[in-house]
Structure 1
Amino acid sequence: MIVRQQGNRFVLFRQHDHALVSADFALRLKEIDRFHPSAVFAIAMHDVGWRPLDRELLWNEEEDKPYSFMDYPLEPKLPAYKAGIERVEAEDPYAGCLCSMHYASFFEGVSDPAAIRFREEELTRQERLKTGMNPEERDGLERALHLLKFCDYLSLFICLNEPGQNTFPWFREGLDYFGRKLLPVWEGTRRLRLSPNPFRQPFTVTIPYQVVNAAREPEEEGQLSIDVVC
């Protein structure tokens, strides 16, 4: 889950829903035709491993709030990551390699044995998948990974900030887009633009959410819609 706290309430977004919004952003970029066709599929599916985990809310008893993707226990999370990568690889090996690279990057320099083992296994997977690529495809992997991370962060920006605000620490200085900083600028609470603008035309993204209170009771369900303007 992606969790945004509102006082004694928690706004929850499922990870796969957020990933689909990430792909919406990718498809509208001016430069999207310069990337491997599998890049958008990787972006859309990069969190598919979270679908089983997000069917049930896991509560952090120590913090008395829902676990988010940032503090979710590794024991169930790592197998879910692996299963998601394997699912993507089965449909599209290039996209599977990108998702593997994305998740392996989370565990650079870690000390947890399970995380180290996960990273090593994914690096092995990547080398195997690269043997089936031509030189141009291999050379484009890092650029496609940057695209995935940019679109991932932009979707997270919408989920982790209250509409109309930019208070979450990750995004206050803007988002890195291939060496350029793009600053999210709200125009009210439902209209967002990036400066400078990377998109071909205006569009709308929509993501479902649910709200639970501190007593773990569901309070609300709905759709968050944001108009992206140029």
Structure 2
Amino acid sequence: MILRKTDDGMDLIRQHDHGWVSGDFAEHWKERPPSSVRFAIRYHDVGWESLDRTTTWNPESGRPFTFVDHPMQEKIVAYRKGVDWVEERDSYAACLCSRHYASFFEKATDEMAIRFLQDEQKRQERLERKMDKETRSRLAPDLALLKLCDDLSLFLCFNPPGENRHPWYRDGFHYQGQRFYPHWEESHTLRLDPNPFSASFTVRIPYERLTEAGHVVTTGTDVVRIQTGEE
């Protein structure tokens, strides 16, 4: 779950809904990536679907658990389940998703996290043995695109339309030696500088709005136009 603080409560956004928006960014990339890469990006958080069916509260923070503080054991089960699901459909996409999640634990000291990292490294080795040299050489740049699209979607999830208040992306987005800066043209129109997209498009982010006490006030959808500035 992704939590966005509001003036009088909070918005909750499901992880797979965020992942779907990541896929929208990939679909409109100027150099449109291959289908396996687009599949990995859109479905990289599919393992969260079961966890996000219910809202679980963190007794320490007094707010719902998010992907940041969710209990490690449940989170790792979701990660593994999601990569398994992707692998059943596309082995190259699964290798990308596995690398993405494994990168979270490169400096892990927790025994459970270390075991997950080791298991995913074995998965990657198994999948990469089936690839030719050229295909393996694409893994790093394709993973970089996955992480960028993930960040672009998180930017929209963390920030109310028209704002850039979350600290993670105030200095823009780094990708392959480039930096992209977000600019709100209007409250629901976003442009990146420089523009990396083939055409303007619209993304939709469903959310559930809660009071501080946890009562559901309403549900809604943020509709944001990603503008290239080239029309």
TM-score range (shorter-chain normalised) is over 0.9
Aligned counterpart, 2:66: 68
Alpha carbons 1:3, 1:12 under 8 Å: kept: yes
Aligned counterpart, 1:184: 182
Identity of matched residues, %: 48
Cα distance in 1 between the residues matched to 2:125 and 2:34: 18
TM-score (norm 2): 0.97
After superposition, give the CA deviation of every residue in 1:11-55 in whole Å (9 maximum; x if it has no partner): 0110001111101001101112xx443000000110000000000
Cα distance in 1 between the residues matched to 2:165 and 2:9: 18
Shift of 1:177: 2.2
* Superposition pairs of residues 4-153 of structure 1, within 5 angstroms: 4-32=4-32, 35-153=33-151
Cα distance in 1 between the residues matched to 2:149 and 2:224: 15
Q: Tell me which moved more, 97-106 or 164-173.
A: 164-173
Alpha carbons 1:193, 1:229 under 8 Å: kept: yes
2:105 corresponds to which letter in structure 1? F
Unaligned ranges ≥5, structure 1: none
TM-score (norm 1): 0.97
Aligned counterpart, 1:208: 206
Report SS of the residue matched to 1:170. Answer: helix
1:17 corresponds to which letter in structure 2? D
Report SS of the residue matched to 2:225. Answer: strand
Report SS of the residue matched to 1:185. Answer: strand
Aligned counterpart, 2:161: 163
Cα distance in 2 between the residues matched to 1:171 and 1:12: 19
Q: 1:221 aligns with which of 214, 219, 222?
A: 219
Aligned alpha-carbon RMSD (Å):
0.9
Report SS of the residue matched to 1:187. Answer: strand
Unaligned ranges ≥5, structure 2: none
Cα distance in 2 between the residues matched to 1:16 and 1:9: 22
Aligned counterpart, 1:172: 170
Work out the number of aligned pairs and report it. Answer: 228
Cα distance in 2 between the residues matched to 1:188 and 1:217: 31
1:143 corresponds to which letter in structure 2? P
